[in-house]
Chains A and B, each alone.
Chain A
Amino acid sequence: MSQILLSARDLSVRFGGVLAVNKVSFDVRRGEVFTLIGPNGAGKTTVFNLISRIYLPTTGTLSFDGQPIDRTPAHGIAALGIARTFQNIELFEHATVLQNLLIGFHTHRRSGFWSDLLFAPAARRNEIAARRKAEEVIELLRLMRYRDQRVAGLPYGVRKVVELARALCSAPQLLLLDEPSSGLNAEETEDMAWWIQDIQRELGITVLMVEHDMTLVSRVSDRVLAMNQGEVLALGTPAEVQAHPGVIEAYLGTIDDVSSLRREAVQ
C-alpha cells in the first residue's frame, strides 16, 4: 500500500481567458489532514471540483490510490472512496436528515430496481445496513435530535454538520471538505475541529480541506498548501506556510504596496 493516497500532477484548468488553476502539483498522504489555503479566487474550490470530476482539467493528471482517475465519470468518484461537502451547502432540502444520510450510503447498495420495487429481502438487508451506518455517524456527530427533521427547517450550523455526516456515510477513504467552518460561530468551529480530528484519528480517513480560519487550519492540519491566483505558493507544515514570505505577501501585500500611503513625520 503506497503512502500517497491522492496525487495531482501539473493540474491546469482554463475557463475562457482565465487560467483558474495553473500547473498545480501536490500529494496527499494516507491518514493526514491536508489543507488548501489562499485568498479568494485562488482556485481552491476549482481544485476540489477537478478532483470530483465536475470540471475536467485542461492539462494534468490526477491519481487516487495509485490509479489514474482521468477517465472516471463524476458519479464514479464516490465509489472509489472519495466523498465531499460543498462550500454552499448542497443538501437534499426536502428530505429528512436521516434520508440525507441514507443517500450517502448509495454507493454501497446491494439491491437493484426490481428488488426495491418488491421490497425483497435484498432491499430489506440494504435498508438495515444503510441505517446501521447512518446511526453510527449520527452518534459520532451528535445529530440524534435532528434525525427525523427536514433539512429545509434546520439552522445553518446544523446543515453544515449534516453535510459532513452525509459524506461520512459513504465510508470514504478521502474526505474533501470545502470550507467546513464557514458560517459557523466560534463554538461550532471548535466542534468542527474536534470532529475533523476524530475523523482522522478514529476513523482513519484522510482529509483534504479548503479553509480560511487559520486557527482551525493550524490546529488540525498536518500539511498546508498555499495557493494564489491558481498557482502553488508554498507547501509545508502550518507554521512554515504561515511564515512564508510569499504567503504573507499574497494576504497582506508587500511593504512597497503600502509605502506610498505612509506619512512621514513632520519635522
Chain B
Amino acid sequence: MRFIFRTSYSQDYGLAQHNGHLFWYGLLLAALVAAPWLVGSYWTSQLTFVLIYAIAGLGLMVLAGYTGLVSIGHAAFLGVGAYTQAVLTGQGWSFPVALAASAGLSAAVGVVVGLPALRVKGIYLAVATLAFGFIVEEVMARWEHVTGGNAGLSVKAPAMFGWTASSAPAFYLLVLGVCLIVTLAVLNLLRSSTGRAFIAIRDSEISAQSMGIHLAHYKTLSFALSAAIVGVAGALYAHKLRFISPEQFGIAQSIDLLLLVVVGGLGSVHGAFFGAIFLITMPQFIALFKNWLPPAIGQAAGLQAVVFGIVLMGFVLFEPTGLYGRWVKLRTYLELFPTYRRGMFRRQKTFQKSERVR
C-alpha cells in the first residue's frame, strides 16, 4: 500500500502521481515502441487495430463516459473521418494536414448532431444518433462521385514530408504517436476545468447549471471533441485497411464502439484501451475455441455476435465499471495482500433521490 504525501498543488494535478506510475507507463511505452520487432507482423497488425480502436474509444468515452450522453451512431464519425482522409490524401494532401481536416470536418458534423442533444437525453438522444448513423451511411453509399458508393474507395499509404509509411511497422509507429497525442490531450482536458464541467453535466445537470456551467456550450463542445477524436481514428482506420466502403461504418460498427466503452469501463481512460483490446482479441479467442465446441454451435453463423451480446449483458449486470473496475480490484488485492477483504468494493445502495427539479 502506498501513501502519497503531497507538498505542492502541482503534484495533485500531475499526470503521474508517483514514480511507480512513471516507471510502469514508461516500460509500457517502451514495449509498445519495440513491439513490431518483438511480436511479428500478424500481432503488429492487430496491435495497430487495438490502438486505432482505442482512439475511437477515447472519443466515445469523452461523450458517453464523461459527459453522460450516449450515442449509437458514432461509426458515422469514423466514416466521415475515413472518407475525408481517403479523398484528401487521394488528391495528394500531406498526412498531417489531411488528418487535421478529417478531425475538423468530423467535429463540424459533431456540432450539428449535438444540436438535438441540447433538447433530448437518454433513450431519445440514443435514437436521434442512431438515425444520424443511418443517414451518414446512406450518404456514403449514394454520393458516388466523391465516395465511390458501394464499390468503395481505395486509400493510399500515409505520406508526409517526402516520407511514406508504407511498411507495417512504420504505420504502427505513426498510429502509436497519434494515439499518444490524443490520450495526453484527453487526460489534460479531464484534469482541467473543461473536463470537470463535462463530469458535472454527467452527474447532475441542475447543479452544474447552478455552478455556472453553460450546458449547451459544454454539451456541444463534448460532441465536437468526441467526433473529432473518432474522426482521427477513422482516418487511421482508412489508411490501415487501404480500402473503405459504407458498410464498414454501419450500425454494427457503432454498437462495437459502444460495446468497447461499456466493457472497458465507462468513465475511465484506461477503459478505452481495455475495451479496444477486448474488441480486437475476442474474435481470435472465439476462433480458437470454436473447434472445441460441437460443430452445430461452433460453426453456426453469428456465434461472435451472440458471445459479444452475452459478454455485454454480463458486464452490465455484474461489473458496471467494466474491465477497468476489474483491474482496480485486482490491483487493490495485490497492494493489500494478504489483508484484502471480500466486499471491499460492494456497491452500497445509497439513499434514493426522492424528488428532482425536472
Contact = CB atoms under 8 A, between A and B. Distances in A.
A90 B210 CA distance: 10
Nearest to A135: B9
Interface string A119-142: 100011011101110000000000
Contact of B191 (A91, A105, A127, A152): A127
Contacts of B351: 156
Which has the most chain B C-beta neighbours within 10 Å: A49, A87, A119?
A119
A207 interface: no
A88 B355 contact: yes
B196 A77 contact: no
Contacts of B348: 153
Contact of A127 (B192, B215, B350, B355): B192
A107 B208 CA distance: 11
A103 B203 CA distance: 12
Contact of A76 (B12, B202, B203, B212): B212
B29 to A, nearest CB: 19
B280 interface: no
Contacts of A117: 185, 188-189, 194
B200 interface: yes
A240 interface: no
Contact of A92 (B200, B209, B350): B200
Interface in B22-47: none
B212 A107 contact: yes
A99 B199 contact: yes
B126 interface: no
B139 interface: no
Given A88-B353, A119-B188, A123-B188, A166 B193 contact: no
A109 B350 contact: no
B339 interface: no
B304 interface: no
A75 B212 contact: yes
Contacts of A191: none
A92 B267 CA distance: 13
A124 B15 CA distance: 12
A14 interface: no
Nearest to A122: B192
B189 A52 contact: no
Interface in A79-111: 79, 83-84, 86-88, 90-95, 99, 102-107, 109, 111
Contact of B210 (A74, A105, A128): A74
Interface string A187-223: 0000000000000000000000000000000000000
6 contacts: A73-B214, A75-B214, A78-B211, A103-B197, A107-B211, A117-B189
Interface of A: 49, 52, 54, 73-79, 83-84, 86-88, 90-95, 99, 102-107, 109, 111, 113, 116-119, 123-124, 126-128, 130-132, 152-153, 156, 166, 170
Counting from the closest, the 9 A-B pairs by CB-CB distance are: A78-B212, A92-B203, A90-B207, A116-B192, A107-B212, A119-B188, A116-B194, A109-B193, A90-B204
